[in-house]
């Protein structure tokens, strides 16, 4: 199949399952106008994230990698009115665009953007004893995915979910000799996750308007053990 057909199928699904949304469309337009890379999740994946947030009854969400706030908006809408989403972004320009988009969406009261390297921000959350999260979305630089995932486990409640995006990398994931640091980053993440006793995880390949890729979804064990084997 071709990229053209994948695009057509995504449009078909979106037209039937996702209502037109001027706020989300404006977020994408503002991100493009500001020169942000066009790497936000597709609308159908955005809705998947929102549904997962709702399915686990999330009140607290952590996002690693804000970009223009498009995925942030989807997930924040899945929260109750008193819920909180903390999103971590290293680029001040990205954060500024996201803040404007979230203001437009009327979600500033339930979203906090923390600017700086994600691992430092995650360490600060731990130091602050800020509490655990019900859902974590990892979508930052792929080289750091293993470290983000390991820290995310510490910050996720037992029974919570961790979603790791952009796993398959156009199929290059299986190429152990790849010179792409992003591919090697995802391989390192998977090798770690496969033996991590505190989670149960699966991964899926995807095709669509964003090309050929995939994601991993991890359930943090109810007992949150360090000594048991992963299921």
- Do residues 37 and 114 lie in contact, with contact meaning Cβ atoms separated by under 8 Å? no
| H and E: helices and strands count for the chain | 8, 7
| 164's tokens | 């790791």
Which CATH code, of 3.40.47.10, 3.10.180.10, 2.130.10.10, 3.40.50.150, is assigned to 3-220? 3.40.50.150
Q: Quick one: three-class SS letters along 121-169?
A: HHHHHHHCCCCCEEEEEECCCHHHHHHHHHHHHHHEEEEEEEEEECCCH
Q: State the average pLDDT for the chain.
A: 95
Side-chain half-sphere of 208: how many Cα atoms within 13 Å? Answer: 18
d(CA 125, CA 154): 10
pTM exceeding the 0.85 threshold for the entire prediction: yes
- Do residues 201 and 218 lie in contact, with contact meaning Cβ atoms separated by under 8 Å? yes
pLDDT at site 73: 98
The answer to whether residue 156 scores a pLDDT higher than 60 is yes
Reported as a pLDDT band with limits 50, 70 and 90, residue 231 is: very low
Average pLDDT of span 161-174:
97
Give the distance from CA 67 to its chain's centroid: 11
């Amino acid at each position: 199949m071709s990229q053209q057909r994948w695009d057509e199928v995504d449009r078909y699904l979106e037209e039937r399952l996702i209502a037109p949304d001027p706020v989300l469309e404006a977020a994408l337009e503002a991100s493009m106008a500001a020169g942000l890379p066009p790497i936000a999740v597709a609308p159908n994946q955005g809705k998947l994230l929102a549904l997962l947030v709702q399915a686990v009854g999330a009140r607290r969400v952590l996002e690693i990698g804000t970009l223009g706030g498009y995925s942030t908006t989807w997930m924040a809408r899945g929260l109750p009115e008193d819920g909180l989403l903390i999103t971590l972004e290293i680029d001040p320009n990205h954060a500024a665009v996201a803040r404007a988009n979230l203001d437009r969406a009327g979600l500033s009261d339930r979203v906090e953007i923390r600017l700086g390297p994600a691992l430092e921000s995650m360490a600060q959350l731990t130091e602050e004893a800020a509490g655990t999260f019900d859902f974590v979305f990892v979508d930052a630089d792929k080289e750091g995915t293993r470290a983000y995932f390991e820290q995310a486990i510490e910050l996720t409640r037992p029974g919570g979910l961790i979603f790791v995006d952009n796993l398959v990398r156009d199929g290059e994931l299986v190429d152990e000799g790849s010179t792409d640091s992003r591919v090697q980053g995802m391989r390192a993440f998977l090798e770690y996750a496969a033996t991590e006793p505190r989670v149960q995880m699966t991964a899926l390949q995807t095709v669509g308007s964003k090309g050929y890729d995939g994601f991993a979804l991890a359930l943090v064990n109810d007992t949150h053990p360090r000594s048991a084997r992963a299921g």
